[in-house]
Structure 1
């Protein structure tokens, strides 16, 4: 299906999800029809990014170039799409690579859509959502997805995930470490299975306690194993441990993966079969799985459904924030005051600073949870708050959104340490600074924690500059606030940002005049 025919197939909104996996890059194009997803077009390109990740977690130039080449192709297909209609998700390899920023910077020059690197738990959540929306099931189920660099596990009911985990074991990475150059032996299988079992050990108790009535497998690795087993006539479609062990015993008769000629095994899967089978055997044995069925839905379908929800103003990030508010017993009245002030200032400066709705959303989230660290201690609350947000599982947030949230909260008061502001691929530093200034002003102006405290606010913005208009009579009565605003001017000046408050300047001039005596 060509891009032209996709664009001509109706008037319903078009969306696209791109999955930058460790083994393959996938692209799915769909349209939203009466709230449901109608798939129109799929593309898959083998990249094997994880193959280029060395022991020091540095991605090779060859792997980077392979990935960029595929992004060039995808960019051509997606050329008619608006940026908000495309979501690009990067998983294990770009999550782990120490030089992932290099890949992201170079990708920006040829691929016009932002690339979101997500956490392992977020990856597991998307996979579960893809399965849950693809096929309804009455009961609790376990979902397993074996990727190139990691394997995701999720337990949930209906559309609600209950347990999420991402383990650092994948068919490409295990292929490199246990079946190097495609060599096969019983000893290699044994080592791979034992290592996978060790990797699974930390989650076994929690997952078995949660329990399930159905086990679902997704991804190309599990599909290939199912196709081989059914091709041999060992199964009618469901996978059981006995069949997996039988396949392992069959494979050890061969010395090399290239010798394999099995039903359902494509050429590009030969080097991944043994490692993927080892991981699946370990999962069956450790979790005591009786039977697994394959479903043709995964991360990218989950991304599409969440995009559809956002377009209908159902953003899971709102639920995540409310969950944090409840869990950490945040002072909701104060959070509301700060958020209202931040939003009032945002509306007045957004055009000058070229801020958008997503920036407003993240600023509002930061204002909602800036005091989350009070749960630990009021001293150094900004550091405690940032730590919680940096390390918490935040469904709906990619890694950079989570980092930005933590950064805004970390520097909502006291000194701003520019060298501690992380590198962002999705956000320009001036935008980060501008959002930070708005949050700081909102917190500072609401220090009395009163609903009737603030007068009407007026703000104007320029490049690295904010002018705040306050009533001189009102400010004259707020001696502590006036001193704090003077201090804030000095702190912002250290990061080359100018905060102008004419009413404050007038008060200082009056004070200087009153202190002058005739000689």
Structure 2
């Protein structure tokens, strides 16, 4: 059977088409488009007209691709940008009418569950771990071991939200950094209570920004690894800290010319580094791992 998964993220829309036979699956096609649905007014809970139009057009194109591949089953999930937008349902209705795609707007808890299933599929969970997925609208945390999910929660502190609210300097200055850290410290109090109780040994970054951190590490050390084909990547902790420091001290222009950073993440990677550093420090974790499998693979797992 051929299945398609569409993940409507706040920054990026993803399409994944796979062939399944029993529990085996083969990826036939995948793409991601920087739609930037949360552009401009995500903190006002509005999808602005230009972003609304980009989103519908992208899904019309996805619909053509799905038809070309003769897909039998489609699951499209929308997360924080659509979930929190006052005109989110209008967007869902427009996509149904103009692209023929039915969108399922999932809760933060459902999002965290699917991220866990995706990461689990990658084989990245080998110990008591804290999974972190940095989206544009929300950040999900999942505490788990190799057997089960122990605790999960979604927080509205995504990179696009924090960037629009706090990131006004170039390079980011101490005032902006402290405003972001103060904001997330207040939001994440219960996360650190859970970490204090269970003491996870590893932070697993789910795709997204963590792929950029890995790409920068691979290039820095001339490693023979390809983000597009690997399922997991183990960071040297000192390497990560050095790269995060470089990102936090760089200007927009300097980051824009760094090989390994896609245009969409040139500024958001600063927010991602800041949040990741804070979580590692507060949770007293000094092991970092990437899972290139995320929500999309969790949705795919749910279809097979």
Out of 96, 101, 104, the residue aligned to residue 116 of structure 1 is: 104
Counterpart position of 1:280: 276
Distance in 2 between residues matched to 1:79 and 1:164, nearest whole Å: 36
Counterpart position of 1:214: 202
For residue 206 of structure 1, give the secondary structure of its aligned residue in structure 2.
helix
Out of 288, 293, 297, the residue aligned to residue 293 of structure 2 is: 297
Larger RCO (alpha carbons 8 Å, 6+ apart): 2
Choose between structure 1 and 2: higher strand proportion: 2
Using the TM superposition, give the Cα deviation of residue 234 of structure 1 relative to its aligned residue in structure 2, in angstroms: 11
- Residues 136, 180 of structure 1: alpha-carbon distance in 2 compared, 3 angstrom cutoff: closer
For residue 27 of structure 1, give the secondary structure of its aligned residue in structure 2.
strand
Counterpart position of 2:9: 21
Describe the superposition over 1:278-307 as per-residue Cα deviations: whole angstroms up to 9, x where unpaired: 111121122222111111100010001111
Give the conservation status (yes or no) of the 8 Å contact 2:43–2:161.
no
Give the count of matched residue pairs.
Answer: 295
Distance in 2 between residues matched to 1:292 and 1:225, nearest whole Å: 11
Using the TM superposition, give the Cα deviation of residue 54 of structure 1 relative to its aligned residue in structure 2, in angstroms: 4.3
Counterpart position of 2:159: 171
Moved more, 233-242 or 41-50: 233-242
Distance in 1 between residues matched to 2:218 and 2:196, nearest whole Å: 28
Choose between structure 1 and 2: higher helix proportion: 1
Counterpart position of 2:74: 86
Using the TM superposition, give the Cα deviation of residue 26 of structure 1 relative to its aligned residue in structure 2, in angstroms: 0.3
Describe the superposition over 1:216-253 as per-residue Cα deviations: whole angstroms up to 9, x where unpaired: 11122111122224433499964466555544543454
Out of 253, 258, 261, the residue aligned to residue 258 of structure 1 is: 253
Distance in 2 between residues matched to 1:69 and 1:181, nearest whole Å: 33
Counterpart position of 2:92: 104
TM-score (normalised: structure 1): 0.53
Distance in 2 between residues matched to 1:73 and 1:23, nearest whole Å: 17
For residue 195 of structure 1, give the secondary structure of its aligned residue in structure 2.
helix
Counterpart position of 2:263: 267
For residue 110 of structure 1, give the secondary structure of its aligned residue in structure 2.
helix
For residue 46 of structure 2, give the secondary structure of its aligned residue in structure 1.
coil
Using the TM superposition, give the Cα deviation of residue 137 of structure 1 relative to its aligned residue in structure 2, in angstroms: 4.3
Matched, 1:62 2:57: no
Using the TM superposition, give the Cα deviation of residue 81 of structure 1 relative to its aligned residue in structure 2, in angstroms: 6.9
- Residues 233, 179 of structure 1: alpha-carbon distance in 2 compared, 3 angstrom cutoff: farther
TM-score (normalised: structure 2): 0.87
For residue 208 of structure 2, give the secondary structure of its aligned residue in structure 1.
helix
Moved more, 208-217 or 79-88: 79-88
Q: How does 1:178-189 map to 2 (within 5 A)?
A: 178-180=166-168, 184-189=172-177
- Residues 59, 136 of structure 1: alpha-carbon distance in 2 compared, 3 angstrom cutoff: closer
For residue 26 of structure 2, give the secondary structure of its aligned residue in structure 1.
strand
Counterpart position of 1:201: 189
Distance in 2 between residues matched to 1:169 and 1:60, nearest whole Å: 20
Distance in 2 between residues matched to 1:244 and 1:136, nearest whole Å: 18
- Residues 71, 196 of structure 1: alpha-carbon distance in 2 compared, 3 angstrom cutoff: same
Describe the superposition over 1:245-285 as per-residue Cα deviations: whole angstroms up to 9, x where unpaired: 5445434544x312323242233321211111111112112
Give the conservation status (yes or no) of the 8 Å contact 1:178–1:275.
no
- Residues 148, 56 of structure 1: alpha-carbon distance in 2 compared, 3 angstrom cutoff: closer
Give the conservation status (yes or no) of the 8 Å contact 1:136–1:158.
no
- Residues 243, 200 of structure 1: alpha-carbon distance in 2 compared, 3 angstrom cutoff: farther
For residue 67 of structure 2, give the secondary structure of its aligned residue in structure 1.
coil
5+ residue gaps, structure 1, are 1-12, 309-519
Moved more, 205-214 or 106-115: 205-214
For residue 140 of structure 2, give the secondary structure of its aligned residue in structure 1.
strand
- Residues 63, 305 of structure 1: alpha-carbon distance in 2 compared, 3 angstrom cutoff: same
